[in-house]
Amino acid sequence: MSGTLDCVAVHGDEYIARWKAKIRDYPDGLARAMVERWLKFFPVWYVQDALDARDATVWHFQIRTETAYNLIGILAGLNRQYFTTFQFKKMRRFLDQMPIKPERLADRLEDVFRESPVGGGGLPRAPGARSAGARPARNARGGRERADATDRRTPAPLGLRRQPTVSAR
């Protein structure tokens, strides 16, 4: 749709003018739907340590790509810009048109893809999360301590194994 707003009609000026007028009026419902659609993030920081040693490079970059698209999609909705991930190109130009965005967003997104996936380079970590290489604290049951025990957004610590149940026959 943004291509239609930028196009120059070779034929059918009146059709293109009507389409441009319709597209320029970015509906409130679409802005809300864009934010809701893209407002989802996989908490990679929660499983980062388990994945660092599991040869998951492609998966790490997939998560980074999805996270970048999610951020751009949210900002597109807030800025009332049309966005699709299909053959997304010219990121800097697209982001430069946004009045609402973090400082140096294009540089920061590109930096995410320059980092090695081992140790979660470039990916955000949960508040209070430890740096790569630090050993997690263990609780009384042998499970990892949460970075923030008051943070209820994360489930019980990963890494605890359920004890096998023995059924009586």
Chain segment 61-112, per-residue pLDDT in tens: 899 999 999 999 999 999 999 998 998 899 999 999 999 999 999 999 999 8
d(CA 83, CA 88): 8
DSSP-assigned letter for residue 97: T
Q: Which residues contact 104 (CB under 8 A, 6 or more apart)?
A: none
d(CA 71, CA 63): 12
**Global pTM exceeds 0.85:** no
